[in-house]
Amino acid sequence: MEQQVTYGEENIKTLEWWEQLRLRPGMYIGKLGDGSYADDGIYVLLKEVLDNAMDEYMMGYGKSVDITIADGEVTVRDFGRGIPLGKVVDASSKMNTGGKYDSKAFKKSVGMNGVGIKAVNALSSNMFVESYRDGQAKSVEYSRAKIIDNPAQTTTKELNGTLVRFTPDDEIFKGYHFEDQYVEPLLKNYVFLNAGLTISYNGKKFFSKNGLEDLLNENMTSEALYPIIHLQGDDIEIAITHASQYGEEYYSFVNGQYTTQGGTHLTAFKEAIARVIKEYYNKNFEYSDIRMGITAAISIKVEEPVFESQTKTKLGSKDIGPEGPSVTKFISDFLKKELDNYLHRTPETSDLLLKKITESERERKAIAGVTKLAKERAKKSNLHNKKLRDCRLHFTDADPKGEKNLDETCIFITEGDSASGSITQSRDPNYQAVFSLRGKPLNSFGLTKKIVYENEEFNLLQAALNIEDGLEGLRYNKVIFATDADVDGMHIRLLLMTFFLQFFPELIRSNHVYILQTPLFRIRNKKETIYCYSEEERLAAMEKLKPNPEITRFKGLGEISPPEFRNFIGKDIRLDPISMKKSDAIKEMLEFYMGKNTMERQGFIINNLQVEEDVEL
């Protein structure tokens, strides 16, 4: 007999504002994390405070922002107008309270409407806010959103502005740490989008004179084929160039917010730029040929922007403002006038751009026959693709967690029957897919994209990811190399990296590619088992579990039993992101590792790589 569930007045509860935020933080800041990845929650907290400072600068107040991060504590001091002193408490602790509802004060703001700083408050173990206005100061201090100090207003010699100091709650962000490799790109984007603003971070200064032109120069990993085209107008800024690379590379922003998933503005930009260039040359070019190798950035300002998620990574607004044109028309009209004028005024750039488009067209036509056959083969193979063990999210209408959460999807690319079998049996079949390689993939360095269609393995991998026409159709948020931690495994990783860097670099630039860390050792006694990912961890585990613990060395993924493997690809999965920066010198790196300098490379490996088998147990 089914147990009856009671439902009465005692089941109806009203949460305090901070309880709601602490109970479901993901609704407001996305994922939590510990700071190991750029989209972890602690960086969203930092960004919410900085967005308020940016709003002040965009409104014309304050030319600098000072930031300090030390021992897990963040301090942000802007020199804007300061929060109105009588509203310091309300602005930092009452939901749906803020100046951004008044479009006259914040016409085109960045921050959340009345939520951002409250989310920081609720998710911090301590937060201190102090506002300075015209020689007066008002502060308030909180502990997990509850006021612990609320002194009276005082006089001050501080310049106008606001100081916010917060410590993320380690009960929520367990073992968190801020990493400069994620903080600094965030700050650089702020100065690129606000030319003339100076940000000081732990004594290091960030400043941009040329806005989005500086952004492209900072981020491009291939050499520009012609000088960057930099166009500016009211509420819009654009920078464009092309490089000798496959794929398309875009950076899009709305009101200073980096929209990593694009949105209506990026869609409009991509269509408009191809159409304007096609009309300029008066040639029947394919849009894909015009955009092949493009690197571009677009920043627009929109009144009351609508984003498709609370973390504001994709713009949903269709109009610039209540009385303005559509986003599509606004961008299209700007490009039609400014880009067309630029190309007419700068024939040397026009000639170089035409050469690039013609080369892309020539290559596409050269592989047209191969492409058609390969697509048909891949489509047919995907129906019975023995290489791909897909996740249920992609072949059922119902999401096991209640919604189509593509952020949780991943695909493991592995080699060998035993390794593929272990991962397949261990995975969460709802969200984790497996693609099995047959031996080592082809070294694609220096080859044209024709090889992607001629090589069955590459063709099926491209089809499984659904990335032939760009990242819009990407079926998995994370693409994970799962190979053994030996010389052969390292070689397979290099070959896969070469494939993606050659033909789909935007997949890496957009932080979708990772390497799976798996333990090298298992140290255990009768009471405890410790998995070790390095020699240092092994020594520490042996010290902890002495005397005479049992030591197992895992030489390959296939040696780890499925029940045990489940521990390593679950919620505690360890992933190393593969990233691209201008300083990486991608072309030179690939030439060294994957080119024909066999003796030079062999010498480097002999002198620099330590073989795992040398470790003594």
One-character DSSP codes across 25-85: THHHHS----SSSTTSHHHHHHHHHHHHHHHHHHTT--SEEEEEEETTEEEEEE-SS---G
| 445-451 average pLDDT score | 84
* Order of strands, sheet of 550-553, starting from the edge strand that comes earlier in the sequence: 529-532, 521-524, 550-553
- The percentage of residues in the chain with a pLDDT greater than 90, rounded to a whole number, is 41
Give the per-residue pLDDT at 615: 37
Q: Which of 251-255, 348-352, 552-556, 598-602 has the highest mean pLDDT?
A: 348-352
Q: Does domain 374-518+558-614 have CATH number 3.40.50.670?
A: yes
Give the per-residue pLDDT at 573: 87
Nearest residue to 194 (alpha-carbon basis) of 44, 333, 51: 51
How many Å apart are CA 48 and CA 117, to the nearest integer? 6
More confident residue, 114 or 564: 564
More confident residue, 344 or 59: 344
Give the per-residue pLDDT at 484: 83
Flag whether pLDDT at 17 surpasses 80.
no
Q: Kindly report the number of other CB atoms within 10 A of residue 439's CB atom.
A: 9
Interior CA angle at 70 toward 68 and 73, to 5°?
85
Homologous superfamily assigned to 17-207: Histidine kinase-like ATPase, C-terminal domain (3.30.565.10)
Q: Beta partners for 558?
A: none
Residue pair 108/302 in contact by the 8 Å Cβ criterion: yes
| 325-341 average pLDDT score | 93
Confidence of residue 613 (pLDDT cuts 50, 70, 90): very low
Confidence of residue 571 (pLDDT cuts 50, 70, 90): confident
| 279-299 average pLDDT score | 94
How many Å apart are CA 231 and CA 213, to the nearest integer? 9
Q: pLDDT tens, 267-287? A: 999 999 999 999 999 999 999
| 231-245 average pLDDT score | 93
Nearest residue to 288 (alpha-carbon basis) of 378, 365, 348: 365
Nearest residue to 496 (alpha-carbon basis) of 410, 435, 547: 435
Give the per-residue pLDDT at 202: 96
Flag whether pLDDT at 312 surpasses 90.
no
Give the per-residue pLDDT at 23: 72
3-state secondary structure of 267: helix
Confidence of residue 441 (pLDDT cuts 50, 70, 90): confident
| 506-519 average pLDDT score | 88
Listed range (237-241, 352-356, 574-578, 609-613) with the worst mean pLDDT: 609-613
Give the per-residue pLDDT at 109: 55
CATH number of 212-366: 3.30.230.10
| 169-181 average pLDDT score | 92
Give the per-residue pLDDT at 5: 64
Q: Which of 96-105, 256-265, 358-367, 372-381 has the highest mean pLDDT?
A: 358-367
| 520-547 average pLDDT score | 89
How many Å apart are CA 52 and CA 92, to the nearest integer? 12
Provide Rg for the chain, Cα atoms.
27
Distances (CA, A) of 67 to 49, 161, 384: 11, 14, 54
Give the per-residue pLDDT at 36: 84
**What is the distance in angstroms between the CA of the first residue and the CA of the last residue of the chain?**
58
Residue pair 457/438 in contact by the 8 Å Cβ criterion: yes
Flag whether pLDDT at 350 surpasses 90.
yes
Flag whether pLDDT at 160 surpasses 80.
yes
Flag whether pLDDT at 608 surpasses 80.
no
Listed range (37-41, 373-377, 453-457, 527-531) with the worst mean pLDDT: 373-377
Give the per-residue pLDDT at 14: 56
More confident residue, 546 or 356: 356
Listed range (190-199, 367-376, 487-496) with the worst mean pLDDT: 367-376
More confident residue, 565 or 202: 202
Q: Which residue has the tokens 């596409």?
A: 364
Secondary element (H or E) of residue 514: strand 513-516
Hey, what are 498's tokens? 């070469």
Listed range (38-52, 166-180, 570-584) with the worst mean pLDDT: 570-584
Nearest residue to 435 (alpha-carbon basis) of 364, 382, 362, 500: 382
How many Å apart are CA 267 and CA 124, to the nearest integer? 37
The pTM is what? 0.77
Hey, where are the domains in the chain? 17-207, 212-366, 374-518+558-614, 521-553
| 320-341 average pLDDT score | 89
Give the per-residue pLDDT at 101: 41
Flag whether pLDDT at 148 surpasses 80.
yes
Flag whether pLDDT at 149 surpasses 60.
yes
Give the per-residue pLDDT at 113: 42
Q: What is the dihedral of CA 173, 56, 296, 215, to 10 degrees?
A: -80
How many Å apart are CA 84 and CA 13, to the nearest integer? 34
Listed range (67-76, 96-105, 107-116, 502-511) with the worst mean pLDDT: 96-105
Spell out the SS3 assignment of 273-286. HHHHHHHHHCCCCC
- Helical axes 598-608 vs 586-594, angle rounded to 10°: 90
Residue pair 264/316 in contact by the 8 Å Cβ criterion: yes
What is the rounded average pLDDT for all residues in the chain?
83
Flag whether pLDDT at 108 surpasses 60.
no
Q: Kindly report the number of other CB atoms within 10 A of residue 606's CB atom.
A: 8
| 506-513 average pLDDT score | 87
Hey, what are 437's tokens? 């390689």
Q: Where are the beta strands (DSSP E) in 79-221?
A: 124-133, 136-143, 146-149, 154-155, 161-168, 198-201, 204-207
How many Å apart are CA 541 and CA 531, to the nearest integer? 8
More confident residue, 214 or 555: 214
* DSSP secondary structure, 401-467, as one string: TSS--GGG-EEEEEESHHHHHHHHHHS-TTTEEEEEE-SSPP--TT--THHHHHSHHHHHHHHHHT-
How many Å apart are CA 236 and CA 232, to the nearest integer? 6
| 298-317 average pLDDT score | 77
Q: Which of 224-238, 296-310, 379-393 has the highest mean pLDDT?
A: 224-238
| 390-403 average pLDDT score | 62
Hey, what are 546's tokens? 């002495």
| 492-510 average pLDDT score | 87
How many Å apart are CA 518 and CA 531, to the nearest integer? 9
| 436-448 average pLDDT score | 85
Displacement of CA 491 from its chain's centroid (Å): 26
Q: What is the bridge-based pairing of β-strands 146-149 and 136-143?
A: antiparallel
